[in-house]
Structure 1
């Protein structure tokens, strides 16, 4: 019996040892980062009454250092998640969900791209990123109790660049290609779903739509961690944008930025202003992990963005040899590049090391899977902007541009892979650029670029992007206004001012679609004689649906639905709805729930519409369980919640005043997670006066700091559809300063 006892003790010791190893191995296994070059940075962080930071410094690099410190003060938790993603270690924080992104980090060779391309960036741009990394390191060193993961810091500029290389492709839908290839599902890449009743008629001024961007899975959870759009999550991104010239506004040149992003996490906006003695003076917002704003304005000009969806990704099916170690190209066999990587996957108190193979061919990343016959299949993907990170330099130069010509010169580099740009400036110019580094596909080669291409032909492997002259753009249209609401570029400025699709090659793969927001904006802007502030506010906060497209499909099906009892009452309630999600109609709450399902089916290219009877029964049951009635006020159902604040909301999933997606809380209320996020309204007076702007965030500057007074202090303004002043000019900054702090990494 003694040997059994000794064996049991040995087994227990092995188990304890294994637990200790699994609980501690990951930080030691992680790639070491060389700290940025030693340099002293000093910045001043001036915060206004809402805690929004204005960062001042002698040099641009000083300011970038201050940006990192200010953002960390408000949301260090999210910044750490972004850093972990940029190092391929997010699974050690977020478990299996995080490991998905770590796998893609390796698949896309985000680190290799940064290692190759970051040293090629101009010295002043690299200085900006090294300073930003130093700011993150400074905060981590000063606040070790907040650091989530061992050996996560220090970081350097290359780490920050790797984060850009990882995240940018998902803004144009790369996740919608990767996810089905990995899971074995069919690719949904057509411009319009093959659904009975889907409207395909094209009118002279408003073509029928195809799927758009903003749907999200039904079970979205409220997250305080980054969201990279992957698979169905790739539909998260939307926005509205408006620019109006002085002759149409009756006064100032106006730029309205109305982004629709998740309200929390790694692609949620953070508002700040920067000002250096080297001429960098800009106000706007960024995503965590960036030293500069991605949108906003300086003294002379400004811009905002909306997601566009050109055909940016090509898929190639490779011909493999018997043991799947080589692929055929132009009649010759080439070795398939294979690298084994270790993904850290947190499971409770331990982190499991999961080994995965990552494959690449000359086309790009390769996804291997088992086919229906059990044989290995291999699909290579190639996407616009692959292997490039010079967007880091372009955004910096855009921040400091002073004229339309300088601004376009940067966009013409085709370095920012996607997103529409809407522009306005002090001289009264307005512009729209359908920005996209669309692959320069050979037009003299017959190929179905929207399908799966043969991978054994090198003539189908393109290199680089089309020229800037080939993409759609509008400057100073006769209508005096420009907008985009994630619609095609051919409805942007009104009849007589719009571009024609006939003028652009079909090989570009420019989407042909409308959203409800687009239909409403086009209609309201076209009808307005004057687009002054009051008129633009009515348009921006419009909450009406057009009975068109997926909305028409849903209501047509309700008219055909046979029902009895309470379901018949619910059907009739919806049939009498006024198509306005303004909290005033008895059907608003039920309509909000129903429309989301049909919008999701269209936006995600699903093969069929939802079952009307089933969905109606599901949503009626939800309302009865939590409200005891089928017609509660929508304001009791749809809420803006953060900490102890709980406010009523209006607007729908695809209305100009957007409440796009939500989490269903335990009490049955819908807590908004994605919709109107950062809003900025800028005006350049016609008389040449100084630019002025207003803005709002859904919660406050300190999104993940519950003890901060700025955790929820913008919520009431947001819910009331009001904006707060932006303090752009130095005298305003100092006049409204509620705190001033000097930050430095000096010993």
Structure 2
């Protein structure tokens, strides 16, 4: 008997070990593909790195340069590039566990791969050549550095894989996560543009059970269902400024890009300069997974972007039959498309295969919850024309050519602020908003059985809000309504746009400050423009007014810690410059109110928030009024520097991690900053800065955080746009190449 039990135990152990081995090794074999279309083209690029490690990439052809972009970026941040590739292949859960699996679920839900496969072959041949070269660069780097590869069989990839990453990421810039997340969790959708619940001074805020709407956005801190690029979707911001020569005081046309993005990860900026023998010459920044910059300038013109929040998503409740497999559309019953997908989910050393089912209808992706079966449809669905549009924008030479590319409506969203060498400035509220029929409440859940409620195309470009050379001589955007952009007498009226388009009407503190500062009399010269960009003030309007109104009526003992904190805030100077006694306390209070207002959530309870802020400061600093620079930090490796600015100031420090010592390590806010200038009779010049450096995931690199001291001092570094300047400031120069015949 004992012998039999011993044999059974041994057999069980073998089974357990076999299962363990299977769960640690199945995923790469499951993911191995034979359909990768490898390029048979040879590529060669020269990479010159300047004193800050920024790559300047040269090639005879545009694909040569694109190949070099992939190599240079991989040298600086291959870990993030792999994350992006894994997302674009539905394998991120094998790297990042449950959070990664949520992204993989959305990858399948949106049919990102199918979108790429259907549309990639229709792109122009030269655009596809760019993406094939970029994919080849990633493959070559992975092959040459196998010890850095996170996931077996992640490479090789091809242009379709890179395109799938674009199809997955773009909808989250206009807040698609704010629809998917509550639908998955069976929660009410909140209206994007409605007023927030007022702040209270002691009673709990009421829940907002508003109707379904587009673009409602969530914080990373409170999501039970993690979503891709959640922080970006929740609190992305940016500022953009353009000054015409007649307003600049010295005849110089100026463009300022001041993006607010996560400082690390898949939507963190990477600076580069590209130049080819085919006329491609551009200085700017891209995201991991892109063969070209998304913003910056060429010789003749430049642009920058800010996230806008148009009503781009519509939700439909489907009428299902008793079997739950068919839905009604007009007089017909259609089969609900159903696909079973496997999500790899890493748990420690194991990768578990989790099966999920995704659904689709003629409307688009479908999500089932306890409240019913819902479909959603969003602007730019099943379109990857942006892959070609950004490439063409990089090479545009005139305002007319640039606008003609935007007019294709291939780039689903983001505001564009523009300037050029002949003195034009412009602002386009770019959004492929659906051309919706009249007679529906597009902010509510729509009838899923009405075929007339399904739109098929975007509105015409001519109907979008836009400005070209306003009389004021200046333009700006700070993630606010496009009807506040150019000053009194130049701003567009709200009535210029049909209400069913869903153009946002909100302002931010940054927009109130920018409009006020730029509207003051006189020229906006370089010095004044820099002061505006680095402004750290708050206006007592909107959610800031709600907070201070609540503080004024808050009933707390004056002698206690809450009373002292309240008095400190009531006497605050409304500037997050790190000089006032109340700056640290105000920083903690405003952040939560700004977050709630931006996302149309109920505003926090003022007493509870004040208590939490006081507790944090007294616990970690022993006082309620520490210098803000001791609280707010820019940290990267051994670099630990004081920061200024706050949530929703023009000098933005928006999101942070609370670390063990109680300091706030900023992870989202001012990121890539670029000043571009065209002076009459002279070549374009520019300056830029990033919070860390060009090699943010390479601790041994001298460029891991070498820009940080300049960044915290509000200083810029030169952009070496012209080759002779690059050579004069070269720290390293080398050639990378691909020979398809090489074994």
Could you say whether these structures have the same fold, taking a TM-score greater than 0.5 normalized by the shorter chain as the test?
A: yes
Mapped partners of 1:272, 1:227: distance in 2:
29
- Identify the match of residue 63 of structure 1 among 65, 68, 92: 65
Distance 1:77 1:172, change over 3 A: same
Mapped partners of 2:463, 2:176: distance in 1:
22
Match of 2:206 in 1: none
Distance 1:92 1:211, change over 3 A: closer
- Are 2:441 and 1:448 equivalent residues in the alignment? yes
Q: CA deviation at 1:370?
A: 2.1
C-alpha RMSD over aligned residues: 1.6
**Cα deviation per residue 1:361-389 (whole Å; 9 max; x = unaligned)?**
00000001123xxxxx1100000000000
Mapped partners of 1:676, 1:214: distance in 2:
20
- Identify the match of residue 582 of structure 2 among 569, 587, 590: 587
Match of 1:201 in 2: none
Match of 2:80 in 1: 78
Match of 2:205 in 1: none
Match of 2:287 in 1: 287
Instruction: Extract unaligned runs of 5+ from structure 2.
Output: 201-212
Q: CA deviation at 1:306?
A: 0.2
- Are 2:712 and 1:712 equivalent residues in the alignment? no
Mapped partners of 1:109, 1:483: distance in 2:
36
- Are 2:1 and 1:7 equivalent residues in the alignment? no
Paired residues of 1:22 and 1:352 also in contact (CA < 8 A): yes
**Cα deviation per residue 1:591-648 (whole Å; 9 max; x = unaligned)?**
0000011111111111x22111111111111111110100000000000000000000
- Are 2:189 and 1:187 equivalent residues in the alignment? yes
Distance 1:367 1:521, change over 3 A: same
Greater Cα offset, 238-247 or 596-605: 596-605
Greater Cα offset, 477-486 or 525-534: 525-534
Match of 2:670 in 1: 676
Match of 1:19 in 2: 20
- Identify the match of residue 647 of structure 1 among 641, 644, 655: 641
TM-score when scaled to structure 1?
A: 0.95
**Cα deviation per residue 1:454-505 (whole Å; 9 max; x = unaligned)?**
1000000000111101111100000000000000010100010011110110
Paired residues of 1:212 and 1:514 also in contact (CA < 8 A): no
Mapped partners of 1:5, 1:576: distance in 2:
78
Q: CA deviation at 1:195?
A: 1.6
SS at match of 1:249: coil
Mapped partners of 2:605, 2:660: distance in 1:
26
Mapped partners of 1:212, 1:448: distance in 2:
16
Paired residues of 1:663 and 1:670 also in contact (CA < 8 A): yes
Mapped partners of 2:228, 2:283: distance in 1:
25
Mapped partners of 1:277, 1:332: distance in 2:
57
Match of 1:305 in 2: 305
Mapped partners of 1:527, 1:17: distance in 2:
74
Match of 1:95 in 2: 97
Match of 1:541 in 2: 534
**Cα deviation per residue 1:569-610 (whole Å; 9 max; x = unaligned)?**
11111111000001110000000000011111111111x221
Mapped partners of 1:488, 1:611: distance in 2:
27
Mapped partners of 1:48, 1:211: distance in 2:
44
Q: How does 1:411-560 map to 2 (within 5 A)?
A: 411-443=406-438, 446-560=439-553
Q: How does 1:99-498 map to 2 (within 5 A)?
A: 99-196=101-198, 216-218=219-221, 228-230=228-230, 234-250=233-249, 251-371=251-371, 377-443=372-438, 446-498=439-491
Q: CA deviation at 1:31?
A: 4.9
Q: How does 1:609-648 map to 2 (within 5 A)?
A: 609-648=603-642
**Cα deviation per residue 1:525-549 (whole Å; 9 max; x = unaligned)?**
0004111000001100000000011
**Cα deviation per residue 1:88-117 (whole Å; 9 max; x = unaligned)?**
000000000000000000000000000000
Mapped partners of 1:3, 1:364: distance in 2:
58
Paired residues of 2:189 and 2:216 also in contact (CA < 8 A): no
Q: CA deviation at 1:741?
A: 0.9
Paired residues of 1:191 and 1:211 also in contact (CA < 8 A): no
SS at match of 2:247: helix
SS at match of 1:656: coil
Mapped partners of 1:215, 1:451: distance in 2:
19
Mapped partners of 1:190, 1:344: distance in 2:
33
Paired residues of 2:238 and 2:259 also in contact (CA < 8 A): yes
TM superposition outliers: structure 1 runs of 4+ over 2 Å: 210-220, 226-230
**Cα deviation per residue 1:366-415 (whole Å; 9 max; x = unaligned)?**
001123xxxxx110000000000010000000000000010001000000
Q: CA deviation at 1:192?
A: 1.9
Q: CA deviation at 1:275?
A: 0.3
SS at match of 1:51: coil
Mapped partners of 1:519, 1:242: distance in 2:
14
- Are 2:677 and 1:690 equivalent residues in the alignment? no
Q: CA deviation at 1:190?
A: 3.5
Q: CA deviation at 1:38?
A: 1.2
Mapped partners of 1:38, 1:411: distance in 2:
33
SS at match of 1:421: strand
Paired residues of 1:211 and 1:603 also in contact (CA < 8 A): no
Distance 1:432 1:190, change over 3 A: same
SS at match of 1:652: coil
Paired residues of 2:693 and 2:708 also in contact (CA < 8 A): yes
Paired residues of 2:263 and 2:669 also in contact (CA < 8 A): yes
Match of 2:207 in 1: none
SS at match of 1:673: strand
Match of 1:30 in 2: 31
